A and B are shown apart, each in its own frame.
Chain A
Amino acid sequence: MGQFDALFQPMNINQLTIRNRVVSTAHAEVHATDGGMPTERYVKYYEEKAKGGLGLAICGGSSVVSIDSPQAWWSSVNLTTDRVIPYLQDLAQVMHKHGAKIMIQITHMGRRSRWDGYNWSTLLSPSGIREPVHRATSKVIEPEDIRRIIGDFAQAARRVKEAGLDGVEISAVHQHLIDQFWSPRVNKRTDQWGGSFENRMRFGLEVLKAVRAEVGPDFAVGMRICGDEFHADGLNHDDMKQIASYYDNTGLVDFFGVIGSGADTHTTLANAIPNMSYPPEPFLHLAAGIKEVVTVPVIHAQNIKDPTQAQRIIEGGYVDFVGMTRAFMADPHLIAKVKMGQVDQIRQCVGANYCIDRQYQGLDVLCVQNAAMARETTMPHVIEPTAGPRRKVVVVGGGPAGMEAARVCAERGHEVVLFEQAPDLGGQITLAAKAPQRDQIAGITRWFVLELARLKVDVRLTTPADMPTIMAEAPDVVILAVGGTPFIEQVPEWGAEDGLVVSSWDILSGKVEAGRNVLVYDTICEFSGMSTADLLAARGSLVELVTDDTKPGVAVGGTTFPSYYRSLYEREVIMTPDTALHRVYREGDKLVAVLENEYSGQQEERVVDQVVVENGVRPDERLYWELKADSVNQGQIDIEALYAAAPQPGLSHRGEGFLLYRIGDCVSQRNIYAAIYDALRLCKDF
Chain B
Amino acid sequence: MFEPVIPYLFVLAVALAGAGAVRRIRMWRQGQPSPVPLWQGLAAMPRRYLVDLHHVVARDRYMANTHVATGGGFVLALVLVLLVHGFGLRTAWLTWPLLAASGLMAVGAAFVWKRRRLAAAELPDSALSRGPWQRLPKSLLAFAVGFFLVTLPAAGVLPEGIGSGLLAMLLLVVCAWGLAEMVLGMTWGGPMKHAFAGALHLAFHRRPARFGGGRDTGLKALDLDAGKLGVESVTDFKWNQLLSFDACVQCGRCESKCPAFAAGQPLNPKKLIQDMVIAMAAEEESSYHGNGHPGQEGSCRSGAPGLPMVDSILDSQTLWSCTTCRACVEECPMMIEHVDAVVDMRRYLTLERGKTPGKGPEVLANLIATDNPGGLAQASRTHWAADLSIPLLRQTRTTDILFWVGDGAFDMRNQRTLRAVVRLLKAANVDFAYLGDEELDCGDLARRLGDEATFQRLARANIHTLNQYRFNRIVTTDPHALQCLGTEYAELGGEYEVMHHTELLAELHRRGQLHFTGNGKGRLTYHDPCYLGRYNGVYDAPRYLIDQLGFERTEMERSGFRSRCCGGGGGAPITDIPGERRIADMRVDDARAVDAEVLAVACPQCTQMLEGVVEPRPEVKEIAELLLDALVVADAPPAVRQSTEEESAHV
Contacts and interface: CB of A to CB of B under 8 A. Distances in A.
Nearest to A361: B651
B645 A339 contact: no
Given A1-B410, A1-B411, A10 B640 contact: no
A85 to B, nearest CB: 11
Interface residues of B, number: 29
A75 interface: yes
Contact of B386 (A10, A39, A364): A10
A90 B374 CA distance: 41
A339 B640 contact: no
Interface string B385-414: 011100000000000000000000011110
A33 B643 contact: yes
A339 B649 contact: no
A93 B639 CA distance: 10
A339 B650 contact: no
Given A37-B643, A87-B641, A2 B411 contact: yes
Q: Which 9 A-B pairs have the closest CB atoms?
A: A99-B387, A10-B386, A39-B643, A19-B387, A19-B386, A33-B643, A1-B374, A40-B640, A33-B649
B646 to A, nearest CB: 6
A37 B639 CA distance: 15
9 contacts: A2-B412, A17-B386, A18-B386, A33-B648, A33-B649, A39-B646, A40-B641, A41-B646, A90-B640
A10 B383 contact: yes
Given A99-B387, A341-B413, A41 B641 contact: no
A89 B121 CA distance: 78
A595 to B, nearest CB: 36
A248 to B, nearest CB: 25
Contacts of A434: none
B213 to A, nearest CB: 41
Given A1-B374, A341-B412, A90 B650 contact: no
Contacts of A94: 638, 640
A197 interface: no
Contacts of A87: 641
Contacts of A10: 382-383, 386-387
Interface string A436-461: 00000000000000000000000000
Nearest to A3: B412
A41 B644 CA distance: 11
Contacts, number: 81
Given A94-B640, A341-B413, 14 more contacts: A1-B411, A2-B411, A10-B386, A17-B387, A33-B649, A39-B646, A40-B641, A41-B650, A43-B641, A44-B640, A93-B638, A100-B387, A341-B412, A363-B651
B221 interface: no
B386 A4 contact: no
A266 interface: no
B640 A39 contact: yes
Contacts of B412: 2, 4, 8, 339, 341
Interface string A86-101: 1100100110010110
B317 interface: no
A174 interface: no
Interface string A14-35: 0001111000000000010110
B415 A31 contact: no
Contacts of A516: none
Given A9-B380, A93-B638, A75 B374 contact: no
Interface of B: 374, 376, 380, 382-384, 386-388, 410-413, 415-416, 637-646, 648-651
B410 A40 contact: no
A139 interface: no
A316 B600 CA distance: 39
Most buried by B among A8, A17, A33, A99: A33
Interface-central residue, B388, B412, B638, by most chain A CB under 10 Å? B412
A375 interface: yes
Nearest to A38: B641
A557 to B, nearest CB: 15
Contacts of B376: 1, 5
B378 to A, nearest CB: 13
Contacts of A4: 412
Contacts of A41: 643, 646, 649-650
A34 to B, nearest CB: 5
Contacts of B374: 1
Nearest to B374: A1
Interface in A331-374: 339-341, 363-364
A138 to B, nearest CB: 28
Nearest to B521: A385
A39 B646 CA distance: 9
A94 B637 CA distance: 8
B108 to A, nearest CB: 57
Nearest to B611: A341
A2 B386 CA distance: 17
Nearest to A44: B640
A31 B376 CA distance: 43
